[in-house]
Amino acid sequence: MSGPYRLGVDVGGTHTDLVLLNVADGSIEIEKVSSTPANPALGVLEGVNRFIAQGKKPDAIEFFAHGTTITTNALLEMRGAKVGMMITRGYRAIQEIQQQARDGNPFDYFFQRPTPLAPQSQTFEAGGRIDFEGNELAPLDEDDVRAAARSLKAKEVSSIAVVYLFSYMNPSHERRTREIILEEWPEAHVSLSSDVLPRIREWARMSTTLLNAYLEPVLVHYIGDLSDGLDDGGVKTQQRFLMQSNGGVMPFKATVAGAKTVHTLFSGPAAGAQAAAYLAAEDAKKGLVTLDMGGTSCDIAFIEGGAPLEVTEGEIARRRLDVPALDLTTISAGGGSIAWIDGGGLLAVGPQSAGADPGPVCYGKGGENPTVTDADIACGFLNPDYFLGGAQSLDVPASLKALKTKVGAPLGMTALDAAAGIRRIVDMRMADEVRIFGAKRGVDPQEFTLLPFGGAGAVHAAPVAEELGMTRILVPPRPGAFSALGLLCTDVVHDYIRSELRPLDQVPPDHAEEIFRELEERGRQELKSEGMDPAGATFARELDMRYTGQGYELRVGLDGIGDAGGLDDAALAEARDRFDGIHARIHGHAAKEKPAEVVSYRVRARVAVPKYEPVVEQNVAQAPAPGAARKGSRDVWFTSDTATETAIWDRNALPVGAMLEGPAIVEQLDSTIVVPDGWHAHVDGSMNLILTREL
């Protein structure tokens, strides 16, 4: 068939994964190319060109969705723009003081905060004042703004954050400031806190706006390069989307319009969690732990009740970021994580990574330091002649030599001992992170199913599950490209918020209704400007609520409340009851006798887009795997002292219902699945490989 096609692209630290969906027959094709860290767009375009070289018509690609780490990497490597800031007169020290709290070890006498994104020399004050109710106490001093814009231009600042007191109640001063800056300097990028995060708490709002200003030029430049490359390659569709941290996508146009860059900082890992919730829906209702182990890191998420857990406050690279995001944690445990000897003479793994260039030693691209992938291939878990389906051969002797030279010899052990030690360390680190992550959220991993993906996830899933006491693993049909597939399993999503602190019993229902409708209208206008049909949008409302005197709030969904005629007194009373219930569930108690207050109003706009629909076989009869699927056997070192002859299976040849007994290794283009002794595996009706064991 000749399409039409929908394309999902996920850029990882080592490989860029592309999934092409043929809308006509529901079939999908996968391409994996080496990532190009210097300019990630080049790797994306190479993958697209491979599909075109196979005869796919570029103008038949009607939908393009992209998950990226471009902003995350720019922040981690401090490669963002030169930033200036405008702030209310008398408050320029907020960036230095922050919240006074400090992260890390409280007894660290050498503690230092991260380098300010807008140093004091690039921070300017402006006269004018808005009060906490949104009233103008003093007009904006436009001369201050104009002088600051000229000074910042002279300093070659390219992006400016504007953060005035109480602008979330009245954004007029910030908007006029932007107008003046652009009059003086039309090329400047301007981020307004009233657009980026119109919510209470000065430091959270400032930090999030600074991050947006720091990264917006990077993202806009990247999107421009990528769009030009797609145009030049004949991919003319304007349905081009970028994955957001909240699990939805937004059009490329939204990033160029501004104030949305910070919503991409967890773009990459969010796609995999969204795919798990959508493609493993039944298991997601019961509980899933996702383990996305790629080339440089491992991302972990919990899914309960059919949806990934979500947060609205967080940190990245020790910087405050308060936007809706899937609740994820990341550790440096990827296939490219480098093994080394620390100052105490102990074996360590990561956080350094060989990445895509030069990559692990076995890639033969100049890498000298052994990695997790080198340990995997030395132990026999990977097939050196079938990496990426045979597209790349791996150099086993080079891995063994590096393991012996860099790790084994200094520690007085063999290369296989070193490889086994590396695997043990990285497996335990992942298990420990899952355990800690779950404990913080009141989740017991033993009751959940482990869903590994990424190129290395299924290689390490079983020992992680064993350490956690988990008995069930679900490996999706295409684990190595699962995040890219997730980009074809989500909707366009935009989040809006407005803070207005007021006791609940003093909130007129019609006033609350007016705020929600204003946010919804803003959503409709933005969707229209992005080329989306606002008539097809749905809107979900939430209130941020707390007991009077508390320093934190909880999100209270209003689904089913006031849907028909709008909010009334009964609706707000029901919202209070829901808040009490949520507080009791999360904190173990509720103070129903105490007054509550509304802190913020939230609206989530969602526009459904066509999704990948997997074919599910309902009648599954389990039987031993056919002999035609067996590729042979090879020695595998599950322990460093004994080699076990292990059956090797071709996953593409395993039919629905096929059963395997461990030890076994299942190979496919994009990943390898390890089934240790004591585990059983079978193919379910969705072509997932289900691994189980009895305690």
Phi/psi for 311 (5° steps) reads -130, 160
Query: Sheet holding 83-88: strands in order across?
Result: 123-126, 83-88, 159-163, 189-192
Over residues 321-379, the pLDDT tens digits come to 999 889 888 887 888 899 999 888 999 988 888 877 788 999 988 889 999 999 999 99
pLDDT of 1 > 70? The answer is: no
The amino acid at residue 166 is F
pLDDT of 56 > 70? The answer is: yes
Helix (H, G, I), strand (E, B) or coil at 34: strand
pLDDT of 473 > 70? The answer is: yes
Over residues 286-314, the pLDDT tens digits come to 999 999 998 778 889 999 888 888 888 88
CB 541 within 8 A of CB 603: yes
Over residues 230-258, the pLDDT tens digits come to 999 999 988 899 999 988 888 888 877 67
β-strand 623-624 against 240-243: which pairing, if any? unpaired
Q: How far apart are CA 458 and CA 474, in angstroms?
A: 9
| Tokens matching residue 515 | 């705020």
Over residues 99-141, the pLDDT tens digits come to 877 777 788 888 888 889 999 999 999 999 999 999 999 999 9
The pLDDT score that the predictor gives to residue 564 is 65
pTM: 0.86
Averaged pLDDT of the chain:
91
% of the chain exceeding 70 in pLDDT: 99
Directed axis angle between helix 202-232 and helix 40-53, to 10°?
40
Q: Quick count: other Cβ atoms within 10 Å of Cβ 565?
A: 8
Beta bridge partners, 627, equal none
Transcribe 170-193 into DSSP letters: --HHHHHHHHHHHHH-TT-EEEEH
Helix (H, G, I), strand (E, B) or coil at 41: helix
Scanning the structure block, which residue is given the tokens 């290395």? Answer: 456
Q: Where does the pLDDT of residue 474 fall: very low under 50, low under 70, confident under 90, or very high at 90 and above?
A: very high
What is the phi-psi region of residue 28: left when phi exceeds 0, alpha when psi lies from -120 to 50, beta otherwise?
A: beta
Scanning the structure block, which residue is given the tokens 């998950």? Answer: 67
For the chain, the first-to-last Cα distance in angstroms comes to: 48
CB 453 within 8 A of CB 272: yes
Over residues 186-203, the pLDDT tens digits come to 999 999 999 999 999 999
| Tokens matching residue 240 | 């081009």
Over residues 554-600, the pLDDT tens digits come to 999 999 887 667 899 999 999 999 999 999 988 889 999 999 999 99
User: What is the sign, positive or negative, of the torsion defined by CA atoms of 513, 517, 519, 520?
Assistant: positive
Q: Quick count: other Cβ atoms within 10 Å of Cβ 624?
A: 11
Of 13-17, 61-65, 181-185, 502-506, the range with the lowest mean pLDDT is 13-17
The pLDDT score that the predictor gives to residue 2 is 64
Over residues 514-537, the pLDDT tens digits come to 999 999 999 999 888 887 889 989
SS (H, E, C) 500-515: EEEEHHHCCHHHHHHH
| Tokens matching residue 443 | 């989740």
Average pLDDT over residues 452-471: 94
pLDDT of 666 > 80? The answer is: yes
Nearest alpha carbon to residue 294 among 248, 241, 206, 353:
353
| Tokens matching residue 623 | 């039987």
Q: Where does the pLDDT of residue 168 fall: very low under 50, low under 70, confident under 90, or very high at 90 and above?
A: very high
The amino acid at residue 618 is Q
Over residues 396-455, the pLDDT tens digits come to 999 999 999 999 999 999 999 999 999 999 999 999 999 998 888 878 899 899 999 988
The pLDDT score that the predictor gives to residue 331 is 82
β-strand 159-163 against 189-192: which pairing, if any? parallel
